Structure 1
Amino acid sequence: MSFLTRWDDDPSRPGFGSALRDAAVRAVLPGVLVFAVVCAIGWVIMEPLRGFEAENDVNRWFQDHRTPTGETITKFMSMIGNTEYVIAVGVLVALVVLWRTRAWWFAVVPLLAISLQATIFVIAAYVVGRPRPTVERLDPTPPTSSFPSGHVGASTALYVSFVLMATRLPNPVVRRVVVTLCVVAPLLVSFARLYRGAHHITDILVGLANGVVCALLAWGYLRREPAGGQSRA
């Protein structure tokens, strides 16, 4: 069974209880390991590297090259990573997928991805407590929640899960357009958060990694059987 085609190879309907157990074992438990790795990277940055002050040079370079046009554009680019936006888009797409497929166990994939990412981000940001870059921030942000980037992690988890779901679209043109847009979206958020002084580069890179891993865990959360195998009723 291919990882990408797992939902087509076994379209059987799972019970709610079995799906919940699968989510706990195949997504939440691995998420604990992801959380530990994120915190370990944060500890290295804050302790042996003493906050990795050299990264502030990159943020100061962006600050020195800001323009009114760039600030306006990046404001909208950053907004697509806002919690409210990510939740709203995730719920809307999940409802559309549920309406089209009647498969609730598949429709919840993006919601599981962003929920898992958000949990890891919120706790890790509190544990690590990394200060924001030493530049003027263009957005209101908590002073010690820089690592990892929640905006980047949330948008990455959401749009990578959309990329995986889009592989099932039958029209190749529509599929390519959707995949391209969904790949570009978290990159725009990443650039905007760096440009607007909200995060260091490592905050963004770890946010990207956190989002990708959470999307992959969500995509594979439900046990599926190979085509021709014994599926769960």
Structure 2
Amino acid sequence: MPIAVQALKRVLLPIAALLAVMIGLGVLLTRAATHLWPLTVEDGVNRYFAGHRTETLSDVSHLASGIADTPRIVGVTAVAALVLALTLRRVREPLFLCLAVTAQALVFYFTTVAIDRPRPDVPRMDESPPTSSFPSGHTSAAVALYLGLAVLLAMLARHTWLKALCWALVLVPAGVALARMYRGMHHPSDVVAAFVNGCTCVYVMSRAVLDRRVRWRPSSAADGGAGRRFGLRSRAAAR
């Protein structure tokens, strides 16, 4: 199958479909379903967080939210991709991670262009970005990056206990989501939609890039011969 056709089928069309779904969800949340449960109670969640702020929790939320600031997401993605490329001596894993993070950012941006949702009506602890409240960009970026890393590390790890430990990385986006709501920056439905965005981008890119049945170039012996250091093994060797 030609590379252009394969890219269209495995990457562009699924991401375009995700964007359409996200915009549809945004329209539903801001228009048709605003007076339906559970949207009728989510303002209460934001008020609860705002009413139970403490100095300690605020400091923790500041750190958790900062993990997913754009410069940090870009920096961690770049460093992780570089380490993966140097360690494994192949491009599939770093390319997967970079594409997952990039795809969620594009879906997030174009969704905020189409959907203009106000921030929660509570005192906000951060400056409001010019983008819409829907979806949470911090959360979707954290999901794509740290879920993507969890998938890669669990796939490469030798030992069962190490595989399980890798999945602890999913606690990072969960903490970011809670922090963004605590700080009054997003509605609960904003962070739920962000998980949909981030998880879908990780899934799409894993099928397009990590699946070794998908050939983007002629096979190379280098693809299957690296990655046995530092307690890691190649996917091919695992079979």
Range class of TM-score, shorter chain: 0.7 to 0.9
Question: Which residue type is aligned with residue 115 of structure 1?
Answer: T
Structure 1 residue aligned with 2:228? none
Contact 1:131/1:145, CA 8 A, preserved across alignment = yes
Shift of 1:104: 1.3
The partner residue of 1:173 within 156, 161, 167 is: 161
Q: Residue 220 of structure 1 aligns to a residue in which SS?
A: helix
Structure 1 residue aligned with 2:233? none
Structure 2 residue aligned with 1:116? 103
Structure 2 residue aligned with 1:32? 16
Structure 2 residue aligned with 1:127? 114
Contact 1:28/1:116, CA 8 A, preserved across alignment = no
Structure 1 residue aligned with 2:67? 80
Structure 2 residue aligned with 1:68? 55
Structure 2 residue aligned with 1:41? 25
Shift of 1:21: 5.8
Question: Which residue type is aligned with residue 166 of structure 2?
Answer: V
| TM-score normalised over the length of structure 2 | 0.82
Residues 1:219 and 2:203 aligned together:
no
Question: Which residue type is aligned with residue 88 of structure 2?
Answer: T
Contact 1:35/1:120, CA 8 A, preserved across alignment = yes
**Aligned counterparts of 1:173 and 1:146: Cα–Cα separation in 2:** 38
Shift of 1:23: 4.1
Distance 1:172 1:66, change over 3 A: same
Contact 1:131/1:143, CA 8 A, preserved across alignment = no
Shift of 1:97: 0.6
**Aligned counterparts of 1:33 and 1:45: Cα–Cα separation in 2:** 18
Structure 1 residue aligned with 2:127? 140
**Aligned counterparts of 2:124 and 2:177: Cα–Cα separation in 1:** 15
5+ residue gaps, structure 2:
220-239
Distance 1:53 1:134, change over 3 A: farther
**Aligned counterparts of 2:73 and 2:6: Cα–Cα separation in 1:** 24
Task: Write the mapping of 1:89-104 to structure 2, written as runs, cut at 5 A.
Answer: 89-104=76-91
Structure 1 residue aligned with 2:172? 185
Shift of 1:221: 1.2
**Aligned counterparts of 2:151 and 2:134: Cα–Cα separation in 1:** 26
| TM-score normalised over the length of structure 1 | 0.84
The sequence identity of aligned pairs, in percent, is 31
Contact 1:117/1:210, CA 8 A, preserved across alignment = yes
After superposition, the C-alpha distances for 1:117-153 in whole angstroms (9 at most, x for unaligned) are 0000011012111000000111112365100110110
Shift of 1:159: 1.1
5+ residue gaps, structure 1:
1-16
**Aligned counterparts of 2:203 and 2:95: Cα–Cα separation in 1:** 13
After superposition, the C-alpha distances for 1:7-38 in whole angstroms (9 at most, x for unaligned) are xxxxxxxxxx94x7644431222011001011
